[in-house]
Structure 1
Amino acid sequence: MWLTHEDFRTVLASTPLVSIDLVVCNNKGEILLGQRLNRPAKGYWFVPGGRILKNETLDAAFIRLTRTELGQVFERSQARLLDVYEHFYLDTVFGCDEIDTGTHYVVLGYQLLVSDDHVLTPPPDQHGCYRWWKTTEMQDSTEIHENTRVYLKALR
């Protein structure tokens, strides 16, 4: 079930969103990141992912999100739960205005390993472009959102 903009504003002002982030790694130890087109974190390089919908199981959400974010279906059993994270943003998908209270996510971070020759075809609606980043590059880059860099600790 999708919410109207007004209903979603009420949700954002009242409660955290629950989401899954996909930390996709290849055999070289690189992580797939996309440059976000939407708020929050617009313009930053970020891992693919998205929110879990009402009455959607974790397994169903994982399948939907891998299909829509990576262009290919993966099962949750193919991934490893890294940890549960909290992400806070000053803005929302609607931008910053006098009624916005920011966005609070409770995030289940999952690592998904793919081979170097595995071809993913992520759609361009959430991220303008994608690239594989070396973890050493990610640690110091101001282009990488801090909520993405936090996953590096769990991968060590």
Structure 2
Amino acid sequence: MLTAMDFLDIVRLTPLIAIDLIVRDDEGRVLLGHRRNRPARGTWFVPGGRIHKDETLDSAFARIADAELGIAGLQRSTARFEGVFEHHYGDNFAGEPDVSTHYIVLAYTLTFTSATPLGRPDQHSDYRWLTPVELLARVDVHDNTKAYFR
């Protein structure tokens, strides 16, 4: 397990690799969470998380889906790969000055019915279903999330 200082050094020196989950419902809306944590705290964002050292993509996908959506055992093969994206943030998880965060993100789309209970309140303070048009029009939706729909 990384200490906070070790992780801050990693954030300072190298990009992180992550998986984002673009969760759609049967009406075409997208699930967004209001972020509790840095970077991007206080904005609406798709669920996601970083891949850990020595973790396979399949294991990371399942862990992130459980941690962010509350769905255990979800397989990556059930999702559609959307591509590789870059996310740049001027801040970092620790709020340390002059340390930016750089992610290389593998984006995957999943579709559920709107009746499927999703979300983990420890990760996001609130969840909303928005259409792509709605989320693109909002100033409180992070630009890195908007990039998936442009």
Is TM more than 0.5 here?
yes
d(CA) in 1 for partners of 2:96 and 2:2?
20
Greater Cα offset, 109-118 or 80-89: 109-118
Question: What residue is the counterpart of 1:135 in the other structure?
Answer: 132
1:55 aligns with 2:54: yes
1:103 aligns with 2:101: yes
d(CA) in 1 for partners of 2:121 and 2:140?
19
Quote the RMSD (CA, aligned, Å). Answer: 1.0
Identity of aligned residues (%): 48
User: Which one-letter code corresponds to 2:121 in the other structure?
Assistant: P
Gaps of 5+ in 2: none
Question: What residue is the counterpart of 1:115 in the other structure?
Answer: 113
TM-score by length of 1: 0.92
Q: What is the CA-CA distance between 1:131 and the residue it aligns to?
A: 1.1
Query: C-alpha offsets along residues 90-136 of structure 1, whole Å, 9 cap, x if unaligned?
Result: 00001142xx320000000100111232222x211221011111111
d(CA) in 1 for partners of 2:108 and 2:68?
14
Gaps of 5+ in 1: none
DSSP 3-state at the match of 2:145: helix
Between the two proteins, the alignment pairs up a number of residues equal to: 149
d(CA) in 1 for partners of 2:50 and 2:89?
15
DSSP 3-state at the match of 2:10: helix
DSSP 3-state at the match of 1:69: helix
d(CA) in 1 for partners of 2:35 and 2:117?
21
d(CA) in 1 for partners of 2:116 and 2:6?
40
Question: What residue is the counterpart of 2:121 in the other structure?
Answer: 124
User: Which one-letter code corresponds to 1:6 in the other structure?
Assistant: M
d(CA) in 2 for partners of 1:101 and 1:118?
38
1:32 aligns with 2:34: no
